[in-house]
Amino acid sequence: MSVANTHFGASRIGEMLKDKKSIFFVGVGGINMSSLAHVSLVGGMKVGGSDRVRSHLTERLEREGVEIVYSHDEKNLDGYEALVYTVAIAKDNPEYVRAMREGIPCISRADYMGYLMMAYSRRIGVSGMHGKSTCTSMCASVLIGADTDPTVLSGAELSMMGGAYRVGKSKEHFLFEACEYMDSFLDFNPNIAVVLNIEMDHVDYFKSMEHIRRSYRSFASIAGQGGCVVANADDEEVRAALSGIEPRVVSFGIESRDADVRAENVECKKGRYSFDIIANGEVVCRAELSVSGYHNIYNALATAAVALECGLGGEQIKNGLKAFTGAARRMEYKGECGGVPIYDDYAHHPTEIRATLEGARRMVEEGGRLWCVFQSHTYSRTAALLDGFAESLSIADCVLVCDIYAAREENIYGVTPEKLADMIDGARAVHGFDDPAEILKRELKDGDVAIIMGAGDVWKVFERLNLK
């Protein structure tokens, strides 16, 4: 069983860490944990950490001066005065057990992140069941392009940052991805809270839509009287969750005519959209996106609303959106297999899958086929949303359903790749990563487009494709 979040808050954590000069991260190889380790190092702390496997994230930290051990042992804490952990660790983790036994301050990842961000005047938190990483990356592109020198902590790597995080010298902008799982985002302290969308997910934690609506309302309320909430006016659940909320609301949308920030005169060429951004009745700029998918119009509108709140102008918004060519694993072009373009995508919820495949459909040449190699993430999500997965995946012409990525779960739900594949016309269940790779190499033809999709380890298919 995983360890729960702490909810100490920034003031108490400040007292706990007063005069502390060293800190240890358990699970330091995670994309967000690695960013917190880096921020702490830049802040002058001695930083160490442990994880089970070496990765490019841990190797980057090692180059920066972080001491990393690739095993979990209580001796790893020697010389460290505080511990930050991810809730994914087990309660019997030896470093965590020692810290609790000896009274060493133990702080959960989200709580620690909420503490760090209080040093910044504008704290921009991007939430939503879908699109958080993409929207955070879009915002980063605009803020960096406008020379605001922001600090950014994202859930996906961005080429212009050389990773998933950057630490700016300015103490004005702290941009971060706000994850809702286990209500982690309630430990954050945004004064600009973005809510992209609300939908059922994380069914191992959230028990109902009412539960989810309460959590998002609580997150948005953190912005308080002096802050604002940037909210999707076209999302019914967002409107319900935020109705009558105390902070000022800046709405964005396409369909809602009364939204504060809107898209008009929308055009599409080969899956990429251009449109006028209208704010309070005035044209801000003509946006031209370099990424595909109708859903990215919403991400761009949210980004524009944030940028306007930060005092940026139309030209800066236009240039920043144009410069954004995608975050890692978000319809990321990986190369060609037999002349067919292959993309990598993180989608793991039916709504995300639908948005990605509908965008990709526009990229397929006449007579070509849209392929999707899909790996579902967690048995609980697969079982609860099985019909939705089948419906969304049916947008593709050819679907290969891989083994389900277990993550933290055991299969007590009876779901299998075969069960999902049987619900999709022409789909096939495959096992391991050699099988889907061999099928692609054998059956792809000119005009096709293929996407390797999922939040688990389905990316290993790329290692077997010999892409050019």
> Is residue 195 located within the same domain as residue 310?
yes
At 171, which CATH number?
A: 3.40.1190.10
CB 178 within 8 A of CB 206: no
- Residue 254 domain boundaries: 120-323
Q: What is the pLDDT of residue 443?
A: 95
> Is residue 60 located within the same domain as residue 193?
no
- Two structure tokens written together for 84: 């930050």
At 17, which CATH number?
A: 3.40.50.720
Indicate the Cα dihedral angle 165, 167, 168, 173, nearest 10°: 70
Q: What is the pLDDT of residue 31?
A: 87
Q: What is the pLDDT of residue 388?
A: 95
Q: What is the pLDDT of residue 369?
A: 95
> Is residue 75 located within the same domain as residue 134?
no
> Is residue 94 located within the same domain as residue 136?
no
> Is residue 184 located within the same domain as residue 301?
yes
Q: What is the separation, in whole angstroms, between the first and last Cα of the chain?
A: 43
Q: What is the pLDDT of residue 310?
A: 98
What is the strand order of the sheet 340-345 is part of? 332-337, 340-345, 449-454, 370-375, 398-401, 428-429
> Is residue 124 located within the same domain as residue 86?
no
Nearest CA-CA partner of 350 in 453, 273, 252: 453
> Is residue 152 located within the same domain as residue 301?
yes
Residue 4 within any structural domain of the chain: no
How many Cβ atoms are within 10 Å of 225's Cβ, its own excluded?
Answer: 8
Strands 83-85 and 22-26: parallel
Is residue 289 within a helix (H) or strand (E), and if so which, with residue range?
A: strand 282-292
Residue 70 within any structural domain of the chain: yes
At 424, which CATH number?
A: 3.90.190.20
Q: What is the pLDDT of residue 409?
A: 87
The Cα 264–Cα 273 span in angstroms is 11
Please count the CA atoms within 13 angstroms of the CA of 193 that sit on its side-chain side. Answer: 33
Residue 191 within any structural domain of the chain: yes
> Is residue 178 located within the same domain as residue 267?
yes
User: Measured at the alpha carbon of residue 281, what is the angle toward residues 280 and 286, in degrees to the nearest 5?
Assistant: 100
Q: What is the pLDDT of residue 254?
A: 97
The Cα 205–Cα 142 span in angstroms is 34
- Burial letters 440-465, b for 16+ CB under 10 A, else e: beeebeeebbbbbbbbbebbbbbebb
Strand positions, DSSP E, 190-247 = 192-195, 228-232
Give the relative orientation of helices 132-145 and 314-323 as an angle to the nearest 10 degrees. Answer: 120
**Among residues 66, 97, 113, which one ends one of the domains?**
113
CB 16 within 8 A of CB 82: yes
Residue 3 within any structural domain of the chain: no
pTM: 0.81
The Cα 23–Cα 106 span in angstroms is 10
Residue 2 within any structural domain of the chain: no
> Is residue 103 located within the same domain as residue 143?
no
Cα-Cα-Cα-Cα dihedral sign, residues 234, 236, 241, 242: positive
- Write 19-23 long-range contacts (CB < 8 A, 24+): 20/45, 20/81, 20/82, 20/105, 21/45, 21/46, 21/81, 22/46, 22/47, 22/48, 22/79, 22/80, 22/81, 22/82, 23/47, 23/48, 23/80, 23/81, 23/82, 23/83, 23/84
> Is residue 432 located within the same domain as residue 365?
yes
CB 86 within 8 A of CB 50: no
The Cα 314–Cα 60 span in angstroms is 36
> Is residue 343 located within the same domain as residue 427?
yes
How many Cβ atoms are within 10 Å of 244's Cβ, its own excluded?
Answer: 6
Is residue 277 within a helix (H) or strand (E), and if so which, with residue range?
A: strand 272-279
Q: What is the pLDDT of residue 387?
A: 95
How many Cβ atoms are within 10 Å of 467's Cβ, its own excluded?
Answer: 15
> Is residue 157 located within the same domain as residue 286?
yes
Name the domain count of the chain. 3
Give me the tens of pLDDT residue by residue for the chain, a chain 468 residues long: 478 889 999 999 999 999 999 999 999 998 889 999 999 999 999 999 999 889 989 999 999 999 999 999 999 999 999 999 998 888 999 999 999 999 999 999 999 999 999 999 999 999 999 899 999 999 999 999 999 999 999 988 888 898 888 999 999 999 999 989 888 899 999 999 999 999 988 878 888 999 999 999 999 999 988 899 999 999 999 999 999 999 999 999 999 999 999 999 999 987 789 999 999 999 999 999 999 889 999 999 999 999 999 999 999 999 999 999 887 778 888 999 989 999 999 899 898 899 899 988 888 888 899 999 999 999 999 999 999 999 999 999 999 999 999 987 899 999 999 999 999 998 999 999 999 999 999 999 999 999 999 988 999 999 999 887
Residue 1 within any structural domain of the chain: no
Q: Which residues pair with 26 in a beta bridge?
A: 50, 85
